[in-house]
Structure 1
Amino acid sequence: MIGVLVFPDFQLLDAAGPISAFEIAARFAGNPPELKVIAVTPGPVRSSSGAEMFARGLRPSAAITTLVVAGGEGVRAAAKCTKTLAFVRGLARRGVRVASVCSGAYILAEAGLLDGRRATTHWQRTKHFLSAYPKVKLEPDRIFTRDDNIWTSAGITAGIDLALAMITEDYGEEIAQKTARQLVLYHRRSGGQSQFSSLLELKAANGRFGPLLAWAREHLNAPLTVEDMAEKAGMSSRHFTRAFVAETGTTPSKAVERLRIEVARQRVQSSAEAIERVAEATGFRDPERMRRAFIRAFGQPPQSLRRAARAGESV
């Protein structure tokens, strides 16, 4: 049985996202969904949006095999609730798979479950989380982490990625892929994938040059010279470069490299595709050129990132 722990002012999608993923997977597997929303006080629990979920109380249950702890605005108060902490600790001691979504990591950390373990949470919480829980091996850039039976995930929708990884473990890759398609997800993200997108990090990426950057990301195997991009933008090369730097805060060539690194990293970490093929498909052409770009960006070559991603998902 999947238990989903909520509290007043929880983030609705932190709970609803994994619930939907587990429900769909169970149906694909031919099993009736076994899901239970639980809280300290049984009855309707109000989320930060005002929508409510009906919860059962925190009675010990041998039926719970996975516990997912939601995050949200009310997590600080929930993390100080002795009943909640005792319940979470008790399940973890029994070897139950315990997971957090977004700031739900605060509850796991307060319960002492993350001491000495790898974990992640929403990137906006990184500074405070590190100062509050220095014993945790926080990996702020990851989508989700697994350390033995303790799982953590980043902001909101990353809870669905975490659920899909659990579904892969429980039902296999085929069911997980079917579930992702049913949820109309573009692709399943690996735990080691960055929480950030280069398109989002570029200033005003949704402004004047937003369509151009999106086009560039879809054509990374092309040369994408300044002249190519200027022509696509309908501008002279000189005027285009000045306008691009003023709006995005970086040069066209550096923006293209960031996009190439992002896509290459995703392919390296989520597949067994040959490094040479990744370099060719993302426009680096030469694997050595891609290796140098990875070291500048991540301090590690592609092979090291691939090994780390596989280790993180198989531990």
Structure 2
Amino acid sequence: MTRPIAFIAYPDCQMLDISGPWQVFATANKLSGETRYRLSLAASAPGLITTNGGLAVKADCAVSELSHQPLDTLLVVGGSGVMQARFDPALTAAICKLAPQVRRLGSICSGAFLLAEAGLLDGCRVTTHWRRAEQLAREYPRLAVEPDALYLESRGRYTSAGVTAGIDLALSLVEADQGATLAGQIARELVMFLHRPGGQSQFSEMLRGQSRAGPLKRLLDVLHADPGGAHSLESMAAVMAVSPRHLTRLFKRHLAVTPGTYLTRLRLEQTRTALLDVPNVSLEQLAGRWGLGGAEQLRRLFQRHYGVSPSVYRQRFHHGRSEPLQGDTPCR
């Protein structure tokens, strides 16, 4: 069975938002030895489109022409040009016309703005590049924006975070269509891990702190140097010479989380690294080392934050053979 997939592009779109997912589907064709996916690139008009990196791509057809052919999946790519493209009435009208005809409608990165402007994401849980998430939530309050997710499916709509997360989304679509075996073969062919779970955070707490620290840098340096230390709200406030209430305000203003939430996420990051680097470690040992209570509490926190259990995470991302974790459910 051949599934037609179309990408919608526009001037100043992100090149990798096209080429990354496109290559996943193209590799599915190559490895299976048959045309599982028929790919096309559409724009307001056929012809060359200059991406925001300066490299030009060629649109096969106009978006309006897609309604005259069978179409399984429609994906809107992201890029800086979406801020102008979303206000093109002919483009949004054409996408609205196509939406009821396709089995799957989705966006990559900031392409969510175009679907949101067309009213096609109302009432859905969505994600986008973390840098644009706050703007998306503010400008389109009918959306439930989850800024940390890599990709999401909600009410038949698919959205993904920035650039490489589009590859993860494409792999998840191939797995749904063709099974995990082919998806795994594609991941190996492209020299990448099996696709990351959609609920996994877009970026680490280390990067979050470095990029948004502001006046909190002194305290974040202390926390990052010893995440498992006995850091109470009062002791953290003392490092900054402010009251606990003011410290909480600073965290919410600069990092959009409370001090306790930030510290928990930082500790979870340490356990995530240890799962891949330390053989035969148990959840109880990890929880004790990083101040995360007991094994069951750690398992629940890990599942909530990354969307998978610790055992499944180790199974998916460990380079070699992984033993089942003590204190967690067996890998399946």
Q: Normalising by structure 1, what TM-score?
A: 0.72
Aligned with residue 64 of structure 1, among 66, 71, 88: 71
2:41 aligned with 1:34: no
Distance 2:282 2:76 in 1: 37
SS of 2:58's partner is strand
CA distance in 1, matches of 2:69, 2:302: 43
2:103 to 96, 103, 111: 96
CA drift of 1:187 comes to: 3.8
Aligned-residue offset at 1:159: 0.4
Distance change in 2, residues 1:187/1:132 (3 Å): same
**Equivalent residue in structure 1 for 2:123, among 100, 116, 128:** 116
The offset of 1:95, in angstroms, is 3.9
Partners of 1:281 and 1:170 in 2: how far apart? Answer: 39
The structural deviation recorded for 1:288 is 4.6
Unaligned stretches of 5+ residues in structure 2: 212-216, 230-263, 310-332
With 86-95 and 2-11 compared, the bigger mean Cα shift is at 86-95
Does structure 1 conserve the Cα–Cα contact (< 8 Å) formed by 2:127 and 2:148? Answer: yes
Q: Within the alignment, does 1:11 sit opposite 2:14 as a pair?
A: yes
- AA partner of residue 171 (structure 1): Q
CA-atom RMSD in angstroms: 3.2
Q: Deviations over 1:271-300 (max 9, x none)?
A: xxxxx9762585657985255568xxxxx6
Q: CA deviation at 1:255?
A: 6.7
What's the secondary structure of 1:34's corresponding residue? strand
In the TM superposition, what are the counterparts of 1:72-221 in structure 2 within 5 Å? Answer: 72-201=79-208, 203=210
Amino acid at match of 2:52: S
Distance 2:306 2:163 in 1: 25
Give how far 1:198 is off. 3.4
Tell me how far 1:104 sits from its aligned partner.
0.2
Match of 2:256 in 1: none
Is residue 193–residue 266 contact of structure 1 (8 Å, CA) maintained in 2?
no
Q: Given residue 123 of structure 2, which amino acid in structure 1 is its aligned partner?
A: G
Is contact 2:110-2:129 (8 Å) kept?
yes
CA distance in 1, matches of 2:94, 2:228: 48
For residues 34 and 274 of structure 2, what CA distance do their matches in structure 1 show?
A: 33
Deviates more, 1:253-262 or 1:1-10: 253-262
Report the Cα offset of residue 248 of structure 1.
3.0
Runs of at least 5 residues in structure 1 that lack an aligned partner in the other structure: 205-243, 269-275, 295-299, 310-315
What amino acid is aligned across from residue 185 of structure 1 in structure 2?
M
Alpha-carbon displacement from aligned partner over 1:52-96 (angstroms, at most 9, x marks no partner): 111021202432211111111110111111222122222221243
| 1:200-231: CA deviation from partner (whole Å, max 9, x where unpaired) | 34549xxxxxxxxxxxxxxxxxxxxxxxxxxx
Higher relative contact order (CA 8 A, sep 6+): 1
**What is the Cα deviation at residue 147 of structure 1?**
1.1
Compared CA separation, residues 29 and 290, structure 1 to 2 (3 A): same
Seq. identity, %: 35
Task: Give the TM-score normalised by structure 2.
Answer: 0.68
CA distance in 2, matches of 1:31, 1:278: 45
Q: Note if contact 1:117-1:136 (Cα within 8 Å) is conserved in structure 2.
A: yes
